[in-house]
A and B are shown apart, each in its own frame.
Chain A
Amino acid sequence: MKPFTFSNRVLGAAVGVLAVGYLYLAFTLEEFTAVSVPVQPATLPKWLGAVLLVLAAVLFFQKDDADEEEDSGEPSGTGSDSDQTGGGAPARPAAARPALGRLTDPRKELALFAASIGLYIALLEPLGFLISTTAYIAAATWYLGYRRHWANALVAVGVSAVLYFAMSDFLRVALPTGPLPF
């Protein structure tokens, strides 16, 4: 099973809730009365909310189509994804560690990965670009299972330094410095 894939019923309901919330906000927008205008700030949002609600209802009653699940996604990957689990999985020993990352449950792995980006973003300004980026690249690369630690360290330091000095000295874009003096 692919992680985080839901039936049309669930998706339709979720989009419907969004549409209702959006419509509520659209109807609470204040009217613009200073000058008479043919299109109020709320006009287009009201239409959009209504259209979204109808689309959600259509989706809710649509049959889940196994065929369509395979092809309708981005061409980038979801399609061959199912081939992968279908054809590739039995060949791999059940206990083998995943090629990328360490957890066997892809959902937890993805959540952890998103959290790591969150941590990086949170630390960007307090620690400065150089320190936080070096630490993030090194930690994430190591966690994902890259074995050559020296190469890893070199990439982490090199990329963040090159990016930092190219941005700040050459393009004059000031990235956060943090506690470092440069």
Chain B
Amino acid sequence: METLQQMGAGFGVAFTPENLLFVFIGVLAGTVIGILPGLGPMSAIALMIPIAFGMDPTTAIIMLAGVYYGAIFGGSTSSILLNAPGVAGTVATSFDGYPMARKGAAGKALAIAAIASFTGGTIGVVLLMLIAPALSSFAVSFGPADYFALMVLGLTAVVTLGGRNITKGLIAAVAGVMVSLVGIDSQTATLRFTFGMPELYEGVKFLIVALGLFALAEVFSMLARRGAGGADGAMSSLRLNRRELGRIAGPTGRGSILGFFTGVLPGAGATVASFLSYSMEKRIAKDGDTFGSGNPKGVAAPEAGNNAAAVGSFVPMLTLGVPGSGTTAILLGALLVLGVTPGPMMLSDRPEMFWGLVASMYVGNIVLLVLNLPLIPLFAKVLKTPRAVLIPLVVVFCVVGVYGLSFSVFDLWLMLGFGVVGYLMRQNGFPAAPMILGLILGSMMERSMRQALQISYGDWTTFVTSPYSAALLGLTVVVLVWPLVKRLRKGAPATAAGAPAEGAEKEDTTTTP
């Protein structure tokens, strides 16, 4: 009952006119910035921090949180309409959202995304309120070996959804991890794979690879198709009938819960959550093989997952003072500047802030839904742009996104290079998603691996003696072997089935030699 009481006080904070206004501003700004390819929640929050200066800290964090989930929703809009996810967290949405848009169901896809986001966010907030304390104590007991195993699981789960050829998916994932290791090694300060170029010392930024592999490669294949086959902007109605709502109810619910718990685990944020929900639905659904060609469930699951995870990632940040993702790390930085130190004491010291934030998340979700559903036809106008105009504009947006981040022409060349590589990969059936995830997780994986081995004095069995880690690695093996078993049961040719098996074993030996 105490929780309810505090929640009531929280709503009192959230419903002051000033805070309501700033939730609205934050959500709107976040959505608009998130729609632009290349600008994600991180850049959106970073851009809004100067505006938050001088505000009351509670109002500031309420606004910045609004920017966060607004940007995630905006990112899914550009994923669906342009296949140009500006944010890693919405990459999975483009798998089915973009094919839906190309089939003329852009309106339905956006409406599903809006509803699933809303549901995911709301379920996430309820869970945050109910079980934040218990969950954070569980996450504390996660050791580095367990994190490593979790990330290996996330990566392999993505590979199995990257098309039928697991070998090509694994190659893409390994290549992604390789790219993530470029630069100065954080522990030993050794230069790795920089070819003597100082521009590479700090590593390859995620945004460059994402824009190259997704947006630029998409532009290349648009040109190769001669503009045929793209979504034509014929806007279907936004209305979903009851049957369609019934179809997405299950994926949305499961995605929300899975997404929230994934978001709570530090390191595994919206991206891993959306991929996990997507691949889980693909396995569960009876029509799982139509995923990737415009199945509404494939839009609902990752959207619910990434929004719930965005909420979930607030749990470790607010209760432990440990940011769970890059985005919450920026938020934490903003809070510190404003003179607030989140941590175990925050709940007792500044309850109005914690509960005000939770309440404003409810409000923000409603604002998001009210704001986005009517504006969807406006967003969809993007599709009516003639291809000949759109292609150069996408190139310019990519250039601005990368240059505005680093002011480096070298990074632009790098982006062009990744664009060419991305196009070649696409033409030859290599999925780009595992590569992106490998890039994001690669350096985190190495850090966890090092910490784990440091703790165990170099004993590699630590990865199987920790119960969580052993369970997660076991799950990884199941995820890799499952498609193989399914194929054998169908009686597919032995040559095709034998190859992924070898890859699977190999992958496993790297984690548990």
Question: What's the nearest-Cβ distance from chain A to residue B80, in Å?
Answer: 11
Tell whether, in the assembled complex, residue A54 and residue B502 are in contact, meaning their CB atoms are under 8 Å apart: yes
Q: Which of the candidate stretches B344-352, B365-373, B423-431 sits at the interface with the other chain? A: B423-431
Question: What's the nearest-Cβ distance from chain A to residue B298, in Å?
Answer: 9
Contact of A152 among B47, B192, B389 (CB under 8 A): B389
With an 8 A cutoff between CB atoms, is A178 at the interface?
no
CA distance A79 to B95 in the complex (A): 13
Question: What's the nearest-Cβ distance from chain A to residue B191, in Å?
Answer: 9
Tell whether, in the assembled complex, residue B446 and residue A58 are in contact, meaning their CB atoms are under 8 Å apart: no
Tell whether, in the assembled complex, residue B503 and residue A58 are in contact, meaning their CB atoms are under 8 Å apart: yes
**Given contacts A63-B496, A100-B226, A38 and B170 within 8 Å (CB-CB):** no
With an 8 A cutoff between CB atoms, is A77 at the interface?
yes
Interface centre among A5, A54, A106, A167 (most CB of B within 10 A): A54
Question: What are 20 residue pairs bridging A and B, where the CB atoms are less than 8 Å apart in the complex?
Answer: A3-B224, A34-B188, A38-B453, A39-B450, A54-B502, A65-B165, A71-B163, A74-B432, A76-B98, A77-B218, A84-B229, A100-B391, A106-B223, A114-B420, A118-B413, A120-B399, A121-B412, A137-B392, A141-B389, A146-B389
CA distance A88 to B226 in the complex (A): 12
**B residues 225-239 touching A (CB-CB < 8 Å):** 225-229
Contact of B99 among A59, A68, A73, A75 (CB under 8 A): A75
Chain B contact-residue range equals 35 or more
CA distance A121 to B400 in the complex (A): 11
Chain B residues lying within 8 Å of A27, measured Cβ to Cβ, are none
Tell whether, in the assembled complex, residue B181 and residue A44 are in contact, meaning their CB atoms are under 8 Å apart: yes
Q: Which 7 A-B pairs have the closest CB atoms?
A: A72-B163, A38-B458, A144-B388, A146-B388, A140-B392, A72-B429, A38-B453
**Given contacts A15-B171, A62-B495, A175-B403, A29 and B192 within 8 Å (CB-CB):** yes
Closest to A59 in B: B167
Contact of B177 among A48, A65, A145 (CB under 8 A): A48
**Given contacts A174-B407, A175-B403, A74 and B426 within 8 Å (CB-CB):** yes
With an 8 A cutoff between CB atoms, is A131 at the interface?
no
With an 8 A cutoff between CB atoms, is B404 at the interface?
yes
Chain A residues lying within 8 Å of B449, measured Cβ to Cβ, are 39, 44
Chain A residues lying within 8 Å of B165, measured Cβ to Cβ, are 62, 65, 68, 72
CA distance A121 to B199 in the complex (A): 16
6 more CB-based (< 8 A) A-B contacts, given A110-B220, A122-B409, A174-B407: A37-B450, A63-B493, A100-B223, A124-B399, A140-B391, A155-B393
With an 8 A cutoff between CB atoms, is B124 at the interface?
no
CB-defined interface of B209-222 with A at 8 Å, one 1/0 digit per residue?
00000001010111
Interface of A is mostly: helix
Chain A residues lying within 8 Å of B167, measured Cβ to Cβ, are 55, 58-59, 62
With an 8 A cutoff between CB atoms, is B416 at the interface?
yes
**Given contacts A75-B95, A137-B392, A141-B389, A69 and B403 within 8 Å (CB-CB):** no
Closest to A137 in B: B392
With an 8 A cutoff between CB atoms, is B141 at the interface?
no
Question: What's the nearest-Cβ distance from chain A to residue B466, in Å?
Answer: 16
Interface of B is mostly: helix
Chain A residues lying within 8 Å of B102, measured Cβ to Cβ, are 80
With an 8 A cutoff between CB atoms, is B506 at the interface?
yes
**B residues 383-439 touching A (CB-CB < 8 Å):** 386-389, 391-393, 395-396, 399-400, 403-404, 407, 409, 412-413, 416, 419-420, 423-424, 426-429, 431-432
CB-defined interface of A37-61 with B at 8 Å, one 1/0 digit per residue?
1111100110110011011101101
Chain A residues lying within 8 Å of B428, measured Cβ to Cβ, are 4-6, 11, 73
With an 8 A cutoff between CB atoms, is A165 at the interface?
no
Question: What's the nearest-Cβ distance from chain A to residue B393, in Å?
Answer: 6
**Given contacts A55-B170, A73-B426, A121-B413, A101 and B223 within 8 Å (CB-CB):** yes
**B residues 153-195 touching A (CB-CB < 8 Å):** 163-165, 167-168, 170-171, 174-175, 177-178, 181, 185, 187-188, 190, 192-193
Closest to A2 in B: B427
Chain B residues lying within 8 Å of A65, measured Cβ to Cβ, are 165, 496
CB-defined interface of A3-45 with B at 8 Å, one 1/0 digit per residue?
1111000010001000000100100011010100111110011
With an 8 A cutoff between CB atoms, is B5 at the interface?
no
Chain B residues lying within 8 Å of A63, measured Cβ to Cβ, are 493, 495-496
CA distance A58 to B504 in the complex (A): 11
Closest to B84 in A: A76
Closest to A25 in B: B193
Chain B residues lying within 8 Å of A79, measured Cβ to Cβ, are 293
With an 8 A cutoff between CB atoms, is B292 at the interface?
yes
With an 8 A cutoff between CB atoms, is B96 at the interface?
yes
CA distance A76 to B388 in the complex (A): 19
CA distance A66 to B338 in the complex (A): 59
Question: What's the nearest-Cβ distance from chain A to residue B165, in Å?
Answer: 5
**A residues 72-103 touching B (CB-CB < 8 Å):** 72-81, 84, 88, 98-101
Chain A residues lying within 8 Å of B223, measured Cβ to Cβ, are 100-101, 106, 109-110, 113, 144
Chain B residues lying within 8 Å of A121, measured Cβ to Cβ, are 399, 409, 412-413, 416
CA distance A30 to B192 in the complex (A): 10
Closest to A79 in B: B293
Closest to B410 in A: A121
Question: What's the nearest-Cβ distance from chain B to residue A157, in Å?
Answer: 13
With an 8 A cutoff between CB atoms, is B137 at the interface?
no
Chain A residues lying within 8 Å of B502, measured Cβ to Cβ, are 54, 58
Tell whether, in the assembled complex, residue B496 and residue A71 are in contact, meaning their CB atoms are under 8 Å apart: no
CA distance A144 to B165 in the complex (A): 35
Tell whether, in the assembled complex, residue A117 and residue B395 are in contact, meaning their CB atoms are under 8 Å apart: yes
Chain B residues lying within 8 Å of A140, measured Cβ to Cβ, are 391-392, 395
With an 8 A cutoff between CB atoms, is B83 at the interface?
yes
**B residues 65-110 touching A (CB-CB < 8 Å):** 83, 94-96, 98-99, 102
Chain A residues lying within 8 Å of B396, measured Cβ to Cβ, are 133, 136-137, 159-160, 163
Closest to A147 in B: B388
Closest to B502 in A: A58
Tell whether, in the assembled complex, residue A38 and residue B83 are in contact, meaning their CB atoms are under 8 Å apart: no
Tell whether, in the assembled complex, residue A55 and residue B399 are in contact, meaning their CB atoms are under 8 Å apart: no
Tell whether, in the assembled complex, residue A136 and residue B229 are in contact, meaning their CB atoms are under 8 Å apart: no
